[in-house]
């Protein structure tokens, strides 16, 4: 049976009233930085003829509605939310990619994207692909235990992942993220990871 063409849904992280919309670096919020990355993910996917649907500047209510809509997507669709970890007490640096522990495809999508981010940031600590179920416990680069809640992964268990591409609370990571060219390159890396993932599907029977 023919598989329908996938559509990539990209949600902008945090609504304006959430913490991530306020915390950031040098006057730029996590949300604003992620918006740049989303733009370049979408641009590159469209150039490669992959259908793409970025959700721009959602309010809190719109975000909840989009999360609900994403949870009802058919399993051949990709859902993505790019984050920069900006928790004020965070000491980690580097990058990790999160996916639902029960989703084989979600974990594979995360691995494909993670490998592309690794190529882009070879010198940064690689915190790995993290399998979780909405609540994430992980060990950061300072060997501290951390806990995060991830709304997207709670509801969407299909082809879905969250790249946490850098830590804004870390000076080195912050410097890296502040360069517009790095956000552009990150968008292209993530889109390439999505394309790598979609190519693995064509090998499946
Ligand atoms: Zn975030």
Domain of 138, CATH number, reads 3.40.630.40
Cα distance between residue 85 and residue 88, in whole Å: 9
Q: How far is CA 184 from the centre of its chain?
A: 14
Whole-number Å distance, alpha carbon 49 to ligand 1 midpoint, is: 28
Q: Does residue 13 belong to any structural domain of this protein?
A: yes
Tokens of 183: 């956000």
Total count of domains within the chain: 1
pLDDT (tens place) for every residue of the chain, 205 residues total = 566 788 899 988 888 877 667 777 778 888 899 999 999 999 999 999 999 988 888 888 888 888 888 878 777 789 999 998 876 666 788 999 999 888 899 999 999 999 999 999 999 999 999 888 877 666 766 777 776 677 778 766 678 899 999 988 888 999 999 999 999 999 999 999 999 999 998 877 6
Please list the alpha-helical segments (H only) found in 81-150.
104-120
Tell me if 25 is assigned to some domain.
Answer: yes
Contacts of 105 (CB under 8 A, 6+ apart): 75, 158, 159
Contact 9, 53 (CB under 8 A): yes
Q: What is the 30 CA–ligand 1 centroid distance (Å)? A: 7
Q: What is the pTM of this model?
A: 0.89
Examine residue 2 and state whether it is found in any structural domain, yes or no: no
91 inside domain: yes
Domain holding 23, by residue range, is: 7-202
102 CA to centre of ligand 1 in angstroms = 22
| CA–CA distance, 42 with 201 (Å, rounded to integer) | 20
Residue 59 lies in a domain: yes
> Is the residue at 1 inside a domain?
no
What spacing in Å lies between the alpha carbon of 95 and ligand 1's midpoint? 13
Å from CA of 203 to ligand 1 middle: 33
Neighbours of ion ligand 1 (CB under 5 A): 13, 20, 83
Query: 135 CA distance to ligand 1 centroid (A)?
Result: 14
Q: Is the residue at 187 inside a domain?
A: yes
- Residue 180 CA to ligand 1 center (angstroms) comes to 19
The SS3 of residue 147 is: strand
Q: How far apart are CA 53 and CA 126, in angstroms?
A: 29
Two tokens, residue 169: 């609370």
Compute, in angstroms, the gap from residue 21 CA to the centroid of ligand 1: 8
Q: What 3-state DSSP class applies to 144?
A: coil
Q: How far is the centre of ligand 1, averaged over its atoms, from the C-alpha of 2 (Å)? A: 36
């Amino acid at each position: 049976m023919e598989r329908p063409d996938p559509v990539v849904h990209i949600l902008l992280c945090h609504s304006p009233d959430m913490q991530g919309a306020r915390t950031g670096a040098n006057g730029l919020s996590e949300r604003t930085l992620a918006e740049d990355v989303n733009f370049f993910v979408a641009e590159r996917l469209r150039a490669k003829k992959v259908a793409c649907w970025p959700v721009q500047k959602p309010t809190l209510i719109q975000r909840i509605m989009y999360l609900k809509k994403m949870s009802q997507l058919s399993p051949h669709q990709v859902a993505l939310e790019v984050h920069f970890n900006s928790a004020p007490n965070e000491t980690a640096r580097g990058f990790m990619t999160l996916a639902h522990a029960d989703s084989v495809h979600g974990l594979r999508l995360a691995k494909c994207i993670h490998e592309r981010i690794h190529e882009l940031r070879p010198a940064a600590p690689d915190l790995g692909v993290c399998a979780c179920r909405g609540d994430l416990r992980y060990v950061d680069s300072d060997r501290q235990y951390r806990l995060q809640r991830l709304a997207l992964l709670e509801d969407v268990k299909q082809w879905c992942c969250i790249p946490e591409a850098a830590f804004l609370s870390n000076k080195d990571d912050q410097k890296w993220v502040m360069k517009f060219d790095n956000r552009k390159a990150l968008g292209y890396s993530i889109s390439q990871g999505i394309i790598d993932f979609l190519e693995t599907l064509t090998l499946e029977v």
